């Protein structure tokens, strides 16, 4: 069986910064409340001319350059996103056009777990022998779906993209995977309207149902329970324990969630990657953005073991254990 290994990493953050002070001018909130409750100080906003596929294409170009391959070498593109440019065509098709690839392309939609689901698709395609080079992107412009009059959600989200090139090889790079979904809890975090269940209408707009609605406390309780369980299952599938981990890279949703799961897993806080202060919650982009920051910071070396873990609407969750095989940049 071929093994899947990560051979390229890239990421992209839009230029415009939205600070907590900026938000103080928009809703009744304070920098102190946001930092204390979430750890977030600022986040990035996509330019009005930038859609999710633009963020994704830039991260993809950087990952392809890092892997020293061309778009024509790709067998498959999987884009994890829950803020597609359009309902169809898929964002992956738009990314393929923007980078100049003609291979099969599809989206994986599992909210903030989308990148982990996309990485699972890529790994399965490689291990089955159906693909040798796959581009996996996590990209979201969720601020386009945020109600900037709702202080409970508008302080959390930011835009961005990250990408991996995953290639077949003799050495295993992607080890154990754990994925799950509990659709009975779909109403905990959703965008109620503008899909087939509730098409756009004047009533939808009047009730602001085109925007993210979230029961924050329920998501918090779910996250701090499911992350440790899922990481332990993925480690067990890899024949490992938390002792083997060099880094834990959770989806960046709230610093208090990161701190709680570190304690529950018994992983030292300095081994839990966090860049939430400057990115906010970038949804599907947060894990590859984090891995690119770790790699660029020369914190990943051949043999490093990293647990990537996502959770989000669905409710969905997923963990992937990665053995790093690339030399530091």
Pairing status of strand 76-80 against strand 133-140: parallel
CB nearer to ligand ACO: pick between 254 and 325: 254
Which is nearest to 289 in space by CA: 278, 302, 301, 304? Answer: 278
* Contact residue for ligand ACO among 79, 105, 112, 272 (CB under 6 A): 112
* Contact residue for ligand ACO among 125, 313, 321, 322 (CB under 6 A): 313
Residues between 267 and 286 with contacts to ligand ACO, criterion CB under 6 A: 281, 283
Which is nearest to 276 in space by CA: 266, 268, 286? Answer: 286
Q: Which residues are catalytic?
A: 112, 251, 281
Residue 145 C-beta: closest distance to ligand ACO, Å: 9
Beta bridge partners of residue 248, listed in sequence order = 272, 307
CB nearer to ligand ACO: pick between 112 and 116: 112
Element (H, E) at 57: helix 52-67
| Cα→Cα distances 41→18, 76, 276, 282, Å | 9, 37, 8, 14
Judge whether 116 and 179 are in contact, CB under 8 Å: yes
Residue 23 C-beta: closest distance to ligand ACO, Å: 8
Residues between 147 and 206 with contacts to ligand ACO, criterion CB under 6 A: 151-152, 155, 189
* Contact residue for ligand ACO among 312, 318, 320, 326 (CB under 6 A): 312
Question: What is the rounded radius of gyration, in angstroms, for the C-alpha atoms of the chain?
Answer: 19
Residue of minimal CB distance from ligand ACO?
Answer: 312
Residue 199 C-beta: closest distance to ligand ACO, Å: 22
Number of residues this chain uses to bind ligand ACO (CB under 6 A): 23
Q: How far is CA 67 from the centre of its chain?
A: 20
N-term to C-term CA, the chain: 29
Query: ω into residue 89 within 30 of 0, thus cis?
Result: yes
- Residue 169 corresponds to which tokens in the numbers above? 């090889």
CB nearer to ligand ACO: pick between 162 and 312: 312
Stretch in the footprint of ligand ACO (CB under 6 A) among 12-20, 53-61, 119-127, 250-258: 250-258
Q: Is 253 in the site for ligand ACO (CB under 6 A)?
A: yes
Element (H, E) at 322: strand 316-323
Judge whether 122 and 136 are in contact, CB under 8 Å: yes
Q: Is 41 in the site for ligand ACO (CB under 6 A)?
A: no
Q: Is 220 in the site for ligand ACO (CB under 6 A)?
A: yes
Contacts to ligand ACO by CB under 6 A: 29, 33-34, 37-38, 111-112, 151-152, 155, 189, 216-217, 219-220, 223, 253-254, 257, 281, 283, 312-313
């Amino acid at each position: 069986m071929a093994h899947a290994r990560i051979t390229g990493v890239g990421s992209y953050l839009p230029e415009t910064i939205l600070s907590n002070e900026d938000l103080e001018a928009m809703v009744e909130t304070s920098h102190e409340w946001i930092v204390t409750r979430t750890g977030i100080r600022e986040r990035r906003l996509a330019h009005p001319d930038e859609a999710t596929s633009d963020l994704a294409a830039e991260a993809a170009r950087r990952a392809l350059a890092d892997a020293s391959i061309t778009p024509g070498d790709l067998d498959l593109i999987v884009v994890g996103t829950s803020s597609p440019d359009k309902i169809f065509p898929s964002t992956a098709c738009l990314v393929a056009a923007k980078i100049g690839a003609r291979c099969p392309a599809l989206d994986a939609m599992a909210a903030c777990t989308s990148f982990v689901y996309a990485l699972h698709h890529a790994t399965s395609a490689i291990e089955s022998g159906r693909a040798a080079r796959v581009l996996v992107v996590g990209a979201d412009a969720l601020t386009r779906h945020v109600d900037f009059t709702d202080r409970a959600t508008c302080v959390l989200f930011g835009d961005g993209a990250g990408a991996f090139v995953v290639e077949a090889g003799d050495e295993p790079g992607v080890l154990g995977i754990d994925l799950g979904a509990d659709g009975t809890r779909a109403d905990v975090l959703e965008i109620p309207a503008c899909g087939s269940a509730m098409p756009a209408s004047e009533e939808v707009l009047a009730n602001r149902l085109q925007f993210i609605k979230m029961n924050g406390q329920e998501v918090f309780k779910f996250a701090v329970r499911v992350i440790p369980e899922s990481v332990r299952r993925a480690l067990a599938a890899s024949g490992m324990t938390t002792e083997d981990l060099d880094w834990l890279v959770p989806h960046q949703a709230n610093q208090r969630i990161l701190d709680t799961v570190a304690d529950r897993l018994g992983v030292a806080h300095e081994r839990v990657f966090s860049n939430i202060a400057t990115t906010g919650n970038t949804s599907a982009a947060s894990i590859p953005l984090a891995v690119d920051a770790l790699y660029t910071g020369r914190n990943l070396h051949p043999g490093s073991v990293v647990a990537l873990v996502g959770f989000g609407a669905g409710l969905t969750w997923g963990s992937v254990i990665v053995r790093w095989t690339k030399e530091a940049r």
